[in-house]
């Protein structure tokens, strides 16, 4: 099926899913010191919500944390005293996006994505969404336990550059845009959303902008321009599990 969007043709029959599915196995990625998700049947006395155990339907409870257990999209409510919901902040779901691949720089004991790298790779492009694939791009990203591993992160200057470029939606294959142990500074989150004070939100904070973390972009997907469909579950929460899908333009 072909769709024409702003004079571009997009083949909707060829989606590129860059989300990581949530499972209750040891293959599930984990961050922030939690255990793996739980997906298990409901028990009512002797009744078990499982067809293989005699029930007419499968009827599971799912226990997970969107920030720790896979691909998720968050709004600025992730870092503010006041409540903001991703379901209210994200109201449209198709965006023109640019996929770039970045080898983080060594800064002391850290691996950091720097402003100059983004400037060079974007070449003055100002997409609505920026999708960052970090290098090396091992498939282990889909199964890694990131807790206490000091993953790469964005510098504050890089996040400011993204904001000032007018990019509204940032997607990255890391558990956070910020350093794992940063004493709660969250410099990249704050810079991207333009949040100066988490207790008293400034009027120019970016309410409709999102960060999506823990994506995975396969090697065969080339850097370049795509149509992004950013799908979320309708959770009234600061973050939701999400399913970002790319379509080649």
The residues, ordered by sequence, that sit 6+ positions from 188 with a Cβ below 8 Å of its Cβ are: 153, 154, 155, 156, 158, 159, 177, 178
Q: Is residue 30 part of a domain?
A: no
Q: Is residue 90 part of a domain?
A: yes
Q: What is the pLDDT of residues 42-88, one digit of tens each?
A: 999 999 999 999 999 999 999 999 999 999 999 999 999 999 999 99
Asked, for residue 160, whether it belongs to a domain, the answer is yes
Mean pLDDT to the nearest integer, 163-180: 98
Average pLDDT for the chain: 96
pLDDT confidence tier of residue 37, bands split at 50, 70 and 90: very high
Q: What is the pLDDT of residue 134?
A: 98
Q: Is residue 53 domain-resident?
A: no
Contact criterion met (CB below 8 Å) for 98 and 127: yes
pLDDT value at 1 more than 80 = no
Q: State the pLDDT at residue 8.
A: 80
Nearest CA-CA partner of 34 in 65, 3, 80, 73 = 65
Rounded to an integer, the average pLDDT of 196-216 is 96
Res 6 pLDDT > 80 = no
pLDDT for 17 equals 98
% residues pLDDT > 90 (the chain): 96
* The pLDDT of residue 164: 98
pLDDT exceeds 70 at position 196: yes
Q: How high is the pLDDT of residue 20?
A: 98
Arithmetic mean of pLDDT, 104-117? 98
Number of domains composing the chain: 1
* Structural contact between residues 145 and 28, judged by C-beta atoms closer than 8 angstroms: no
Cβ atoms of residues 130 and 246 within 8 Å: no
Phi, psi of 28 (to 5 degrees): -70, 135
Q: What is the pTM of this model?
A: 0.96
- For 75-142, give the DSSP string: -GGGS-SS---HHHH----EEEEEEEEE-PEEETTEEEE-HHHHHHHHTT---SEEEEEESS--GGGG
pLDDT grade for 3, boundaries at 50, 70 and 90: low
Q: Residue 90 pLDDT more than 90?
A: yes
Classify residue 40: in a domain, yes or no: no
- Does residue 136 sit within a domain? yes
What helix, strand, coil percent values describe the chain, rounded to 5? 15, 30, 55
Burial annotation 2-41 (CB, 10 A radius, 16+ → b, else e): eeeeeeeebeeeeebbbbbebbbeeebbbbeeeebbeeeb
Q: Cα 182 to the chain's mean position, in Å? A: 19
Full residue range of the structural domain in which residue 105 is found: 2-25+67-248
Cβ pair 124, 158 in contact under 8 A: no
Residue whose C-alpha is closest to residue 54's, from 70, 43, 63, 38: 43
Q: What is the pLDDT of residues 132-168, one digit of tens each?
A: 999 999 999 999 999 999 999 999 999 999 999 999 9
- 85 located within any domain: yes
Residue 220: what pLDDT? 97
pLDDT at 68: 98
CATH at residue 78: 3.50.30.50
């Amino acid at each position: 099926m072909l769709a024409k969007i702003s004079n571009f043709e997009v083949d909707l029959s060829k989606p590129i899913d860059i989300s990581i599915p949530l499972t209750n196995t040891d293959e599930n990625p984990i961050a922030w010191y939690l255990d793996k998700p739980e997906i298990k049947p409901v028990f009512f006395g002797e009744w078990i919500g499982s067809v293989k155990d005699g029930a007419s339907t499968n009827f599971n409870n799912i226990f997970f944390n969107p920030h720790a257990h896979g691909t998720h999209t968050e709004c600025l409510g992730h870092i503010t005293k006041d409540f903001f919901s991703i379901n209210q902040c994200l109201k449209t779901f198709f965006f023109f996006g640019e996929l770039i691949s970045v080898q983080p720089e060594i800064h002391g004991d850290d691996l950091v994505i720097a402003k100059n790298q983004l400037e060079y790779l974007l070449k003055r492009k100002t997409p609505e969404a920026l999708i960052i694939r970090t290098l090396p791009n091992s498939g282990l990203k889909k199964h890694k336990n990131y807790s206490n591993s000091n993953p790469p992160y964005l510098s504050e200057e890089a996040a400011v550059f993204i904001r000032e470029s007018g990019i509204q939606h940032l997607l990255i294959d890391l558990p956070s845009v910020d350093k794992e142990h940063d004493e709660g500074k969250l410099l990249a989150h704050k810079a991207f959303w333009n949040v100066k004070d988490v207790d008293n939100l400034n009027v120019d904070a970016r309410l409709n902008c999102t960060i999506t973390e823990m994506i995975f972009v396969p090697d065969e997907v080339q850097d370049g321009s795509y149509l992004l469909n950013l799908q979320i579950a309708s959770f009234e929460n600061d973050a939701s599990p999400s399913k970002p899908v790319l379509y080649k333009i």
